[in-house]
Amino acid sequence: MAEAAQNLPPVQEIFDPHSQAYLNDPVPQCLALAERGPIVWYEPWQAWIVTRMEDIMACWKEEPLSSDFYDWEFAPRRPPADEWSNFERAMIGHSLLADHDHHRLVRRVTAPAFSRNVVDAIQAKIEPDVRRLFDELGTPAVFDYKAEIAEHIPFISITRMVGIPEKYWPEIKQVIMTFTAAWNPTISDEERESARQDSNRAIDIIRKVINERRGRPGNEDDFLSTLLKIEAQNPEFEEWDIITLILALIGAGSDTTLVAQQWSVYALLKNDRDQIAKALASPDAFANAFCEINRWGVSSKMGFARYAPHDMEFMGQHLRKGVMVLMMPHLKDYNPAYYDNPEQFDVERVFDPEVMFGYGPRYCIGASLAKRQLYLTLTELFRRFPDIELAEEPEKDPDDHNAVVFKKLLLKTNA
């Protein structure tokens, strides 16, 4: 067995998510990587890759690894507390990267902020802005969905969801586009520091909005108002937890939302038209359909990063302190051991469990909000242009570090 493994080509020869071959069709490379075993060393990233869903779910649930970016062996120096800016107070001291007990407390007490009633209320806030965006578009023969619609949605959604007054929109727009770069392990130190400074400016605005809201409490039903009510009832939940949760929404709803917008439209237009009506039959139907869109598209390049908090044994391998471990659930997406007829696009496919937004204690807090704003935008698109179709096969952009995305997405309205 060992001799057979030695005769295999290097992993980087069968898997390279930055290659043109991966852009053209990631499926063969994903399946080939998964066949190498449950945990694989990937030299180009100096990281271990966990390939099997059962192991990924166990890691999410039991949390043997750290989710703290500063625990990465190549991360910048973790600043001592007396040197923290607002960014470090949020990202080190509170709920995103806090100790497990505090993280679970935050998840428990904030559950009402993600209830169906709150999500419905937030949709009502976003809907007029989405309609206005389409009104401004008009009825062109052809338009670029990415530039005209998709790139605007993250900003509209986040500001309305959180409850940031429009007077602050120009100041906070930059961080919505760059926030996730603040802990992206694949970019330069200069890019990361620029994103960190954007985040500090955004935190200043968030704190100002919180103070204004406390001075003039009203009947707002946005995310911030709900969190302020939770804070008043839970002494262990404080303002910095609110700030960190808002930053988490920005992180979950910025570049990832842009990718989701592109692939949702592309998948629905690339496949049988009867899938569109099924996918948009209701918010719940779309929540399931989006899992299928994500599975069918295989847009991920990397995965969920974790770090060894100390020298340790993990899945039969010795991990040195600080080494990156990547969870890659998308490797299973065309594996017939997981899905019947994986080549078929079926928005009614059953996902049990549904793990697109994570699993266990680290399940994405903004999952329901993300799926609802996608549903709202796509419903408006197909209501306005029921006969819309792809104007051309979109060219994929090789420069994105994290996902397979399109340079543009030209649609023909047939209006």
Domain ranges of the chain: 2-412
- The secondary structure of the chain in percent helix, strand, coil, rounded to multiples of 5, reads 55, 10, 35
Average pLDDT over residues 97-108: 70
The single-letter code of the amino acid at 81 is A
Kindly report, residue by residue over 3-53, the tens digit of the pLDDT: 444 578 899 999 999 999 999 999 999 999 999 999 999 999 999 999 999
Lowest mean pLDDT among 184-188, 226-230, 265-269, 298-302: 184-188
pTM of the model: 0.86
pLDDT at 285: 95
**What is the band of 94 on the pLDDT scale with cuts at 50, 70, 90?**
low
- Beta-carbon contacts of 136 under 8 Å, excluding residues fewer than 6 positions away, are none
- Cβ distance 307 to 322 under 8 Å? yes
Q: Residue 330, Cα to own-chain centre: how many angstroms? A: 13
pLDDT of residue 43: 96
Among 70-79, 127-136, 172-181, top mean pLDDT goes to 127-136
Count of residues making up the chain: 415
Pick the CATH number of 2-412 from 1.10.630.10, 3.40.50.360, 3.40.630.10, 3.40.605.10: 1.10.630.10
Strands 317-319 and 324-327: unpaired
Q: Which residue spans within 271-365 are E strands per DSSP?
A: 304-307, 312-314, 317-319, 324-327
- Comparing CA positions, the residue from 76, 48, 59 lying closest to residue 319 is 48
| Structure token digits, residue 93 | 């001291």
* Rounded CA separation 175/87 (Å): 12
Residues 415, 134 contacting (CB under 8 angstroms): no
Of 85-99, 237-251, 323-337, least confident by mean pLDDT is 85-99
Q: Is the pLDDT of residue 220 over 80?
A: no
- Position 216 confidence tier, pLDDT thresholds 50, 70, 90: confident
Of residues 337 and 123, the one with the higher pLDDT is 337
pLDDT at 414 over 80: yes
User: HSE-up of 268 (CA within 13 Å, CB side)?
Assistant: 27
Q: Among 42-56, 197-211, 233-247, which range has the highest average pLDDT?
A: 42-56
Cα 8 off chain centre by: 34
pLDDT value at position 252?
64
d(CA 20, CA 22): 5
Q: Quick one: pLDDT band at residue 124, thresholds 50, 70, 90?
A: confident
| pLDDT beyond 60 at 226 | yes
Pick the more confident residue, 140 or 253. Answer: 140
Query: Is there a cis peptide before residue 165, judged by omega within 30 degrees of 0?
Result: no
What pLDDT sits at residue 3? 40
* Residue 96: pLDDT over 60: no
Average pLDDT of every residue of the chain? 86
Confidence of residue 338 (pLDDT cuts 50, 70, 90): very high
Query: Could you tell me whether strands 47-50 and 39-42 are parallel, antiparallel, or unpaired per DSSP bridges?
Result: antiparallel
